[in-house]
Amino acid sequence: MRWNKISDAVIRRLPLYLRVLDELANESDTALISSQELGVKAGVGPALVRKDLAWFGEFGKQGVGYDVGFLRNELRKILNLEQELTVALVGVGSLGEALVRYHLKRYADNDSFNLRLVALFDSDPAKVGTLVEGIPVMSLEDIPRIVEEEQIKIVVVAVPADGAQDVANRFIRAGVKCILNYAPVKLTTPDTVQVASVDLSLELQRLAYYIPKHPN
Amino acid sequence: MRWNKISDAVIRRLPLYLRVLDELANESDTALISSQELGVKAGVGPALVRKDLAWFGEFGKQGVGYDVGFLRNELRKILNLEQELTVALVGVGSLGEALVRYHLKRYADNDSFNLRLVALFDSDPAKVGTLVEGIPVMSLEDIPRIVEEEQIKIVVVAVPADGAQDVANRFIRAGVKCILNYAPVKLTTPDTVQVASVDLSLELQRLAYYIPKHPN
């Protein structure tokens, strides 16, 4: 498996670098960037920037830096962003709707991120058949057929905690290998499936560490 | 500043360990846990578990492991979770409402996480004065007064991208040092302020790396 070779901590930082390069490419004529500057903008130390990128090849020149356009293209290739990213979302409650309206639909306009939200699913028969931002909501029974037809690569799970494992299993059985989980529960999945979790409670507990002990 | 001493990568893993210990404490009579077992359950290598915890003291005994109850208490102290965590949320749209209903209100029932959601804010005059899960929505003008009165420690920003920096600035001026940002934009903040960002696009780009190149 490819993902056993390079640490996920490295992979997590690549989108941060790509975002910096996207901004540079859109906003200015900067042709070169040093690892120092890339690190500062991405919030990563310069030595770590060089180490991370070295996993994938020789992208920069000593004392010259990285070519912005070239490195951007290479990162997009490494992250599979040159292909169309077909995404489904399950759970069209208030969270799911917000993710569709304010996030997933926005990315469709982003030229360095070829995302297409192709399907929505919900277990509530009253929602099935309705449209959210022009995308029809389908029944959970339709998952295998739609995953196959639309070649869905990533599913965003936005259902309540007690339904998350069941819907994840349905997508895994249908062949989906990447899950972005917003439900506040840890999913049990085979090793061949990659899960990213967005967990408010973990983020809050981490932030709590930084609360000043002695406020002024 | 305390947070310059220990890497945030370490701090990020502490809540994962704490979650494992919480589950063990609630579900079983396990009194001891090895770094191996703690690592497997938290998804972290055992050597890293030992290294992370060693930053804060000597919590385990060679060949014996960690005392579950003791380590849990120590982690709660390190993460400032023994004090009440007073939280505000700004932006009561569909995302903000979902975070309140399905996440923030749930944590109030969690005995190892002393969170109290004390205030909601929105710029829309039609929302100000309404209640969400029993919590009144207030105007942005009320931020300085409420932060002071309620001693708010963390703010969750759930407004659209173009309003995020302005509301963040208002909370920073009022004295809040920890921000959890759900808006799809990078906030500019002083070094004394800690920001955690939940960014769907970065998570999706990271997941894209794991899409199999040659589907079966």
Q: Is A168 on the interface with B (CB under 8 A)?
A: no
| Edge-to-edge strand ranges of the sheet holding A60-61 | A32-33, A65-67, A60-61
User: Are the C-beta atoms of residues A74 and A56 closer than 8 Å to each other?
Assistant: yes
Confidence of residue A119 (pLDDT cuts 50, 70, 90): very high
Distances (CA, A) of B76 to A82, A214, B16, B43: 44, 18, 12, 20
The predicted model scores a pTM of 0.80
DSSP B184-207: SSPPP--TTSEEEE--HHHHHHHH
> d(Cα A155, Cα A147) in Å, to the nearest integer?
10
B85-90 vs B115-121, strand pairing mode: parallel
Dump pLDDT digits (tens) for A33-48: 999 999 888 878 888 8
In chain A, positions 44-83, which contact chain B (CB-CB < 8 Å)? 78-81, 83
Nearest to B174 by CA among B142, B140, B143: B143
* Nearest-angstrom CA–CA distance, A139 and A69: 43
Element (H, E) at B180: strand B178-181
Which residue, among A165, A167, A215, has the nearest Cα to A188 in the 3D structure? A165
User: Which among A14, A146, A176 is positioned nearest to B211, based on CA atoms?
Assistant: A176
Which residues in chain B are contacts of A210 at CB distance < 8 A?
2-3, 11, 177-178, 194
Residue A213 confidence (pLDDT): 74
B210 and A CB contact within 8 Å = yes
Phi, psi of A89 (to 5 degrees): -125, 135
B187 lies within 8 A of chain A by CB: no
CA–CA separation, B4 vs A109, rounded Å?
A: 38
A2: pLDDT strictly greater than 50? no
Domains along chain B?
Answer: 2-78 (1.10.10.10), 85-202 (3.40.50.720)
Q: Taking the CA of residue A154 as centre, how many other CA atoms within 13 Å lie in the half-sphere pointing to its CB?
A: 31
Residues in B closer than 8 angstroms to A212, CB to CB, are: 177
Can you give the pLDDT of all 216 residues of chain B as single tens digits? 344 578 888 898 899 899 889 888 877 777 899 999 998 888 788 888 999 999 998 887 777 889 999 999 999 999 999 888 999 999 999 889 988 987 787 666 565 678 899 999 999 999 999 999 999 999 999 999 999 999 999 999 999 889 999 999 999 999 999 999 998 788 999 999 999 988 888 888 889 999 887 544
- B113, B184, B207 ranked by CB distance to A194: nearest: B207
Query: Which residue is closest to A78 within chain B, CA to CA?
Result: B209
**What is the value of ipTM here, to two decimals?**
0.87
Per CB-CB distance under 8 Å, the chain B contacts of A55 are none
DSSP class of residue B142?
Answer: G
* Chain center to CA of A181: 11
By CA distance, what is A116's nearest residue in B? B204
A10 interfacial to chain B (CB closer than 8 Å): no
Residue B146, min C-alpha distance to chain A (Å): 16
